[in-house]
């Protein structure tokens, strides 16, 4: 088992929580893990990415090789395309489509969505809307992760345990909020594939 | 033995705690910050009484570290690569004093300049100081090298450098830890003259340092961190330094390397080790993260020997961080992208946070500066450097910690009056105070903005040495009290602030304006913590 995952978003959107959840699940499953994060200057509202690599064999590089990523999980639609050259031929693009417009020349939304739909294996979800619908507007990141759970090579129960571990210090409410968010994203992806 | 999931930085910190340090000294700087933060937050470190407060700058950190080593205890000093420039004086001289208690200096380089103004390679500084340098390949080696490094430092009585880069610093992986060692007792150096670098003694100490070089090379041959794998196709030999070894292995599944490989993670490298691969192979490819240190030495000025490929002949890019596909390309292994990046993707640079106090400060500064010709605002290193970008476009320089005040002095001396400096509170106590003293003694017609957000913001909100001290420091340095003005950078005070700035720019001496409002990030964090406590009380 080997999964190379790129997480993308804008500083402050919570990609490190996604990375931590996947990482914790991988460790619980006894897998090897390497997870390259972005800290420092770029975190201030700029484009951020994280490379998460999980495998049953030892992993060497902290960075994924060009064209070899199995999944891109993005919390922002334009950011989902920024690292598209990293995605493998059969790779999955899973992205929230709620844009973070903090630059003056943000591209046209329809054109952006058309580009995303060009990728055969994609799930495009309005994670912000879904998060609001389930009453936890701040969990769009975990909703997006939920939509990717079928492609992570790990059992859903393992990922649920990881959410419990990650949010343990933040209390039971926080754990349940994020478990619901992940489940809402997962359900959306199942329906999306059918349609 | 326990397996922990750690960032490279955290692996180094855990290694230091387990190796029995009594203190860690540092100034925050990406990508080194998390080392010290980890020690500060570690329960084990607290129980062991390890001191871990931030220092005012890297020079004071290095000197304090050297003092702890003098007293016989193990100590770590951490900084980013450009911080080592600030600490260069004590760092270089510490090679002559030598160490008593084990001393490791961690310098974290930033190839590709993710959060820095250059991508200098600290291995050159290590070579300049003529001390052993360790360059871990991965998180586990980083942890192990801290244990080894303290042993080496105490055995050979020499400071040891640990050089990492951003990628390792900020990447997480599983690390097996060892049993922790005891801290040292206070014990003075055997030679009471060891740390007195009077010329007559320094000359002897320098000879001793020169004599030690052979044992440094022996250590890098026998430690196991440098390894030669001689099997394979001898048409090419690969010398792979530090983290590049991972990128090399990534290109060959199951570690099946087709060529002889010399893995280097410790310097100085013994000539014999280099000679073996050089003699065995027709050509050599050198993989290095950073500057071409080994490559340049192997080639020599005249390049008369065998063909050496690397960063200098274009086999690899001359600048920037390496990765698996760049290393693959150097070995004729092509990794191709299936999908192109659509043209519509725009750059999204970092920016000041919504509600940041610097925005209001610079809006007021911009209004006043529009009365003068452009190009008068000298700035410094911090979040506020982002005011160089749209929409503010307020500043005209960013060079090194503290340069704002001193560059304004020089520009004013040249006739650019008024000249303005904009420096953060933590940067001011890091390297701005001496510059301000120069300005006072020089009677420079400059206005210095000390942008006080009461934290070290850019690196994530560490305590600022300047907290609650700025006015007293300015007064103490000799700034006229009437020209030390504190303003509140808020939209509702905009006009009032503009008027104060105008007044001070017209003053023909040193004036200091302190826009003071807490960093929005640390404020939010405090509020959340308070909210949490309230909730617990309920």
Whether the pLDDT of residue B536 is over 70: the answer is: no
Nearest to B380 by CA among B329, B420, B340: B420
d(CA B309, CA B330): 9
| CA gap B422, B394 in Å, rounded | 10
Residue A152: pLDDT band with limits 50, 70, 90:
very high
- pLDDT at res. A12: 84
Mutate to test the interface with B, among A6, A56, A63, A70 (most CBs of B within 10 A): A63
B319 has a pLDDT exceeding 60:
yes
The proportion of chain A whose per-residue pLDDT surpasses 70, expressed as a percent, equals 97
- Which among A10, A38, A66 is the nearest to B337, CB-wise? A66
Nearest to B171 among A62, A65, A85 (CB): A62
Mean pLDDT value of segment B180-207: 97
Task: Answer whether residue A193 shows pLDDT above 80.
Answer: no
Evaluated on CA atoms B116, B120, B126, B129, the torsion sign reads negative
For residues B175-198, give the mean pLDDT. Answer: 96
Q: Name the DSSP class of B159.
A: -
The answer on pLDDT for A194 being more than 80 is no
**At residue B439, does pLDDT exceed 80?**
yes
Token digits for B520?
């929005």
Residues 367-386, chain B: which have Cβ within 8 Å of A? 383, 386
Considering only CA atoms, which of B423, B439, B436, B441 is closest in space to residue B514? B423
| Mean pLDDT confidence for B141-156 | 98
Name the pTM for this structure.
0.96
Q: Complex ipTM, two decimals?
A: 0.94
Mean pLDDT of chain B: 96
CA torsion angle B250 B255 B260 B266 (round to 10): 70
Q: Which residues of B touch A60 (CB under 8 A)?
A: 138, 245-247, 249-250
Contact across the interface for A41 and B335, Cβ inside 8 Å: no
With a cut of 80, say whether residue B538 has pLDDT above it: no
**Is B335 close to A112, i.e. CB distance below 8 A?**
no
Q: Work out the minimum CA distance from B245 to partner chain A, whole angstroms.
A: 8
Q: Which residues of A touch B333 (CB under 8 A)?
A: none
H helix intervals, A123-171: 127-133, 140-148, 156-166
Q: pLDDT tens-digit profile of B222-244? A: 999 999 999 999 999 999 999 99
What value does the mean pLDDT take over residues A127-151?
96
Q: How far is CA B444 from CA A108, B268, B365, B429, in A?
A: 51, 47, 19, 20
Contact of B30 with chain A, judged by CB distance below 8 Å, is answered with: yes
Cross-chain CB nearest to B341 (options A34, A43, A85): A85
Q: Which residue of B has its CA nearest to A83?
A: B341
The A residues from 104 to 123 touching B (CB cutoff 8 Å) are 104-108, 111-112, 115, 119
**Per-residue pLDDT, A181:** 97
Mean pLDDT, residues B268-291 taken together: 97
pLDDT at B157 > cutoff 60: yes
**Mean of the pLDDT values across residues B496-502?**
98
pLDDT, mean of residues B360-375: 97
> Can you list the domains of chain B with their CATH numbers?
3-182+194-221 (3.40.50.970), 227-330 (3.40.50.920), 357-522 (3.40.50.970)
**With 0-12 CB in 10 A as exposed, 13-18 as middle and 19+ as buried, what is B327?**
buried
Give B520's contacts (C-beta < 8 A, 6+ positions apart).
B353, B354, B355, B356, B357
CB atoms within 10 A of CB A128: 20
Query: What pLDDT digit, counting tens, does each position of A46-80 carry?
Result: 899 999 999 999 999 999 999 999 999 999 999 99
Residues B293 and B127 sit within 8 Å (Cβ to Cβ): yes
Contact list in A for residue B172 (CB cut-off 8 A) is: 23, 33-37
Q: Which residues pair with B6 in a beta bridge?
A: B173
The mean pLDDT value for B210-217 works out to 98
Question: Nearest CB to B30: which of A34, A40, A84?
Answer: A40
Q: Phi/psi class of residue B69: alpha, beta or left (left: φ > 0; alpha: ψ in -120 to 50)?
A: alpha
- Closest residue to B249, CB basis, from A60, A78, A91: A60
Which positions ≥6 away from B390 have C-beta within 8 Å?
A104
Of A46, A61, A84, which has the smallest distance from its Cβ to B349's Cβ?
Answer: A46
Nearest CA in chain A to B33: A40
Q: What residue segments make up the domains of chain A, in order of their start?
A: 2-194
Rounded Cα–Cα distance for residues B461 and B352 (Å): 14
Contact A35 B339 (CB under 8 A): no
Q: What are residue B534's phi and psi, to 5 degrees?
A: -55, -45
What DSSP line would sit under B266-293, residue for residue? EESPPHHHHHHHHHH-SEEEEE-SSS-H
Q: For residues B110 and B31, is the Cβ–Cβ distance under 8 A?
A: yes
- Give the integer Cα–Cα distance in Å for B414 and B437: 19
Interface touch B170/A37, C-beta < 8 Å: yes
What angle do the packed helices B199-222 and B88-97 form, to 10 degrees? 80
Work out the angle at residue B326's Cα, subtended by the Cα atoms of residues B321 and B330, and round it to the nearest 5 degrees.
125
For the segment A131-136, the average pLDDT, to the nearest whole number, is 95
- Chain A CB contacts of B140 under 8 Å are none
Rounded CA-CA distance B515/B394 in Å is 15
A106–B336: do the CB atoms touch at under 8 Å?
no
Q: Which two tokens stand for residue B9?
A: 């930085």
A124 — phi, psi (to 5°)? -115, 120
**Residue-averaged pLDDT of chain A:** 94
Contact (CB<8Å) A47/B347: yes
**What distances in angstroms separate CA B67 from CA A193, B75, B395, one per listed residue?**
65, 9, 39
Q: CB-based contacts of B19: which residues, under 8 Å, 6+ apart?
A: B74, B102, B146, B147, B150, B180, B181
If you measure CA to CA, which chain A residue comes closest to B321? A63
What is the DSSP secondary structure assignment for residue B191, as one 8-state letter? Answer: S
Question: Measured between alpha carbons, how far is B140 from B299 in angstroms, rounded to an integer?
Answer: 32
**Residue A30 near chain B (CB below 8 Å):** no
What number is the average pLDDT over the span B257-286? 97
Rounded Cα gap, residues B167 and B190, in angstroms: 40
User: Quick one: pLDDT band at residue A38, thresholds 50, 70, 90?
Assistant: confident
What span, in angstroms and rounded, lies between the C-alpha atoms of B499 and B494? Answer: 9
Whether B172 and chain A come into contact, CB under 8 Å, resolves to yes
pLDDT at B535 over 80: no
Scan residues 64-83 of A and list those with Cβ closer than 8 Å to B: 64-68, 78-79, 81-83
Of B336, B345, B352, the CB nearest to A78: B345
Q: Is residue B1 predicted with pLDDT exceeding 60?
A: no
CA-based nearest distance A150→chain B, Å: 22
Mutation for testing the A interface, residue in B41, B110, B263, B325 having most A CBs under 10 Å: B325
To test the contact with chain A by mutation, choose from B171, B246, B347, B457 the residue with the greatest count of A C-beta atoms within 10 A, namely: B171
Q: Does A55 touch chain B (CB under 8 A)?
A: no
Residue A42 confidence (pLDDT): 62
A11-31 confidence digits (pLDDT tens): 888 899 999 999 999 988 999
Q: Does B173 reach chain A within 8 Å, measured CB to CB?
A: yes
End-to-end CA distance of chain B: 41
Q: Report the gap between the CA of B226 and the closest CA in chain A (Å).
A: 17
Token reading at B354: 């919504």
Rounded Cα distance between B422 and B398, Å, is 10
The per-residue pLDDT for B75 is 98
pLDDT at A188 over 80: yes
Q: What is the pLDDT of residues B49-100, one digit of tens each?
A: 999 999 999 999 999 999 999 999 999 999 999 999 999 999 999 999 999 9
Percentage of the residues of chain B whose pLDDT score is greater than 70: 99
- The class that CATH gives domain A2-194 is alpha beta
| End-to-end C-alpha distance for chain A, whole angstroms | 29
Judged by CB atoms closer than 8 Å, whether chains meet at B247 and A63 is answered as yes
Size of interface A-B (CB pairs under 8 A): 154
What are the chain A neighbours of B31 within 8 Å (beta carbons)?
Answer: 39-40
H or E stretch at B237: strand B236-241
Model pLDDT, residue B93: 98
Which chain A residues have a beta carbon less than 8 Å from that of B337?
Answer: 66-67, 84-86
Inter-chain touch B328–A64, beta carbons under 8 Å: no
Non-local (6+) Cβ contacts of A135 within 8 A are none
How close does chain B come to A88, measured CA to CA in Å? 6
* CB spacing of B350 vs A67 below 8 angstroms: no
A:153-182 residues touching chain B, CB 8 A cutoff = none
Q: Give me the percent of chain B exceeding a pLDDT of 90.
A: 95
Band of the pLDDT at A183, cuts 50, 70, 90? very high
Q: How far is B389 from chain A (nearest CA, A)?
A: 12
CA B496 to chain centre: 39
Q: What is the pLDDT of residues A98-121, one digit of tens each?
A: 999 989 999 999 999 999 999 999
Q: Is A41 on the interface with B (CB under 8 A)?
A: yes
**Is residue B247 scored above 90 in pLDDT?**
yes
What whole-number distance in Å separates Cα of residue B245 and Cα of residue B10? Answer: 21
């Amino acid at each position: 088992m080997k999964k190379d995952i790129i997480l993308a978003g804008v500083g402050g959107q919570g990609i490190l929580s996604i990375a931590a959840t996947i990482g914790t699940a991988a460790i619980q499953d006894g897998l090897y893990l390497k997870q390259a994060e972005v800290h420092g200057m770029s975190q201030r509202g700029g484009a951020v990415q994280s490379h998460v690599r999980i495998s049953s064999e030892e992993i060497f590089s902290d960075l994924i090789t060009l064209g070899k990523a199995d999944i891109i999980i993005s919390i922002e639609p334009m950011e989902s395309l920024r690292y598209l050259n990293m995605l493998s031929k059969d790779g999955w693009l899973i992205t929230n489509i709620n844009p973070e417009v903090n630059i003056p020349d943000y591209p046209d939304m329809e054109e952006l969505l058309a580009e995303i739909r060009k990728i055969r294996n994609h799930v495009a979800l309005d994670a912000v809307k879904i998060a609001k619908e389930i009453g936890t507007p701040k969990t769009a990141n975990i909703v997006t992760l939920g939509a990717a759970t079928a492609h992570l090579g790990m059992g859903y129960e393992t990922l649920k345990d990881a959410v419990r571990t990650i949010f343990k210090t933040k209390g039971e409410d926080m754990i349940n909020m994020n478990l619901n968010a992940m489940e809402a994203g997962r359900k959306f992806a199942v329906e999306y594939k059918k349609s | 033995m326990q397996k922990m999931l750690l960032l490279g930085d955290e692996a180094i910190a855990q290694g230091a705690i387990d190796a029995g340090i009594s203190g860690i000294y540092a100034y925050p700087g990406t990508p080194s910050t998390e080392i010290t933060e980890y020690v500060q937050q570690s329960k084990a470190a607290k129980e062991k009484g390890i001191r871990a407060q931030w220092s005012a700058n890297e020079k004071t950190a290095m000197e304090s570290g050297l003092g702890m080593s003098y007293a016989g205890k193990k100590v770590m000093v951490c900084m980013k690569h450009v911080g080592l420039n600030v600490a260069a004086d004590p760092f270089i001289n510490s090679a002559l004093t030598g160490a008593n208690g084990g001393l490791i200096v961690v310098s974290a380089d930033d190839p590709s300049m993710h959060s820095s103004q250059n991508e200098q390679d600290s291995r050159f500084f290590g070579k300049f100081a003529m001390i052993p340098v360790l360059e871990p390949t991965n998180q586990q080696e980083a942890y192990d090298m801290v244990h080894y490094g303290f042993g080496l430092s105490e055995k050979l009585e020499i400071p040891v450098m640990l050089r990492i880069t951003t990628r390792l610093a900020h990447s997480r992986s599983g690390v097996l830890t060892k049993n922790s060692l005891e801290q040292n007792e206070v014990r003075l150096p055997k030679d009471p003259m060891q740390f007195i670098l009077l010329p007559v003694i320094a000359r002897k100490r320098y000879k001793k340092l020169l004599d030690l070089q052979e044992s440094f090379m022996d250590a890098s041959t026998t430690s196991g961190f440098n390894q030669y794998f001689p099997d394979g196709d001898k048409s090419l030999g690969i010398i792979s330094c530090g983290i590049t070894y991972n990128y090399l292995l990534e290109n060959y599944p199951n570690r099946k390397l087709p060529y002889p490989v010399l893995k280097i993670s410790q310097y100085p490298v013994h000539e014999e080790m280099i000679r073996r691969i050089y003699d065995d192979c027709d050509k050599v490819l050198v993989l290095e993260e950073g500057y071409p240190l080994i490559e340049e030495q192997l080639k020599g000025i005249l390049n008369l020997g065998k063909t050496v490929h690397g960063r200098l002949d274009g086999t690899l890019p001359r600048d920037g961080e390496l990765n698996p596909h760049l290393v693959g390309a150097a070995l004729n292994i092509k990794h191709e992208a299936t999908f192109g990046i659509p043209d519509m993707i725009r750059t999204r640079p970092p920016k000041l946070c919504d509600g940041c106090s610097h925005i209001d400060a610079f809006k007021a500064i911009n209004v006043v500066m529009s009365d003068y010709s452009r190009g008068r605002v000298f700035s410094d290193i911090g979040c506020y450097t982002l005011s160089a970008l749209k929409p503010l476009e307020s500043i005209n320089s960013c060079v090194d910690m503290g340069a704002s005040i001193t560059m304004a002095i020089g520009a004013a001396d040249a006739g650019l009056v008024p000249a303005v400096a904009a420096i953060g509170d933590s940067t001011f106590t890091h390297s701005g105070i001496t510059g301000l003293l120069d300005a006072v003694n020089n009677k420079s017609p400059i206005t210095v903005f000390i942008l006080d957000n009461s934290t070290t913001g850019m690196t994530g909100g560490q305590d600022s040495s300047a907290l609650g001290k700025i006015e007293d420091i300015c007064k103490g340095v000799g700034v006229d009290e009437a020209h030390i003005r504190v303003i509140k950078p808020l939209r509702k005070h905009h006009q009032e602030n503009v008027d104060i700035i105008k007044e001070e720019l017209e003053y023909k001496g040193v004036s200091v304006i302190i826009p003071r409002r807490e960093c929005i990030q640390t404020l939010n964090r405090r509020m959340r913590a308070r909210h949490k406590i309230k909730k617990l009380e309920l």
